[in-house]
């Protein structure tokens, strides 16, 4: 049974919901999963078969807790594969998707030592606001679950190839 850590950063809770859905799909695939806030993971991640890290992209920046998580565990990611996802656009046009992918790539470029086993950008959701009845929500739950099932297969291989380009979601 694969041991997978799903760590997340969140501002308004939507990334936590996606991380929980990923964790649930991984459990359905027979994996042993630990779901935690990225800022709370202070001990070594060396015992995991795979680490999945997700965070929102706000104003062109990936959440700082995700960056801190990667820095904190930098020396371990040569032995433990990491897959990352970002919560991207709230508008469904191609330009919004491209900007979010570019922002995710810029965020990961700050960690030049990291070779992510998989990278995904999922649609975002409008934060809760008063008097707004039609919140935009571009999260595609089927795509999120499908990506999670692919992560389960990746973890079971124990050696994570770089499959980032084939796993980009939207």
Q: What is the pLDDT of residue 65?
A: 97
CATH of 3-167, one of 1.10.10.10, 3.30.450.20, 3.40.120.10, 3.40.50.360: 3.40.50.360
Q: What is the pLDDT of residue 76?
A: 93
End-to-end CA distance of the chain: 29
| More confident call, 166 vs 84 | 84
pLDDT band at 162 (very low <50, low <70, confident <90, very high): very low
What is the pLDDT averaged over residues 2-28? 96
Per-residue pLDDT tens for 125-147?
Answer: 888 775 667 888 899 999 999 99
- Mean of the per-residue pLDDT values for the chain? 89
Three-class SS state of 30:
coil
Q: Is the pLDDT of residue 52 over 80?
A: yes
Q: Residues 9, 12, 13, 15: is their CA dihedral positive or negative?
A: negative
Q: What is the pLDDT of residue 103?
A: 94
Phi, psi angle pair for 153, to nearest 5°:
-65, -40
Cα 100 versus chain centre, distance: 13
Please say whether the beta carbons of 125 and 15 come within 8 A.
no
């Amino acid at each position: 049974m694969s041991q997978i850590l799903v760590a997340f950063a969140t501002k308004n809770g939507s990334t936590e919901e996606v991380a929980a859905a990923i964790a649930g799909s991984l459990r359905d695939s027979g994996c042993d999963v630990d779901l935690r806030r990225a800022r709370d993971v202070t001990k070594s991640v060396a015992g995991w078969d795979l680490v999945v890290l997700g965070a929102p992209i706000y104003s062109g920046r990936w959440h700082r807790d995700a960056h801190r998580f990667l820095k904190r565990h930098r020396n371990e990611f040569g032995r433990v594969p990491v897959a990352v996802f970002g919560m991207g656009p709230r508008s469904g046009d191609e330009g919004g998707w491209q900007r979010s992918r570019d922002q995710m790539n810029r965020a990961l470029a700050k960690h030049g030592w990291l070779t992510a086993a998989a990278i995904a950008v999922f649609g975002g959701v409008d934060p809760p606001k008063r008097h707004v009845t039609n919140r935009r929500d571009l999260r595609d739950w089927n795509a999120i679950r499908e990506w999670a099932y692919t992560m389960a297969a990746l973890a079971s291989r124990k050696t994570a190839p770089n499959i980032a380009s084939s796993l980009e979601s939207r």
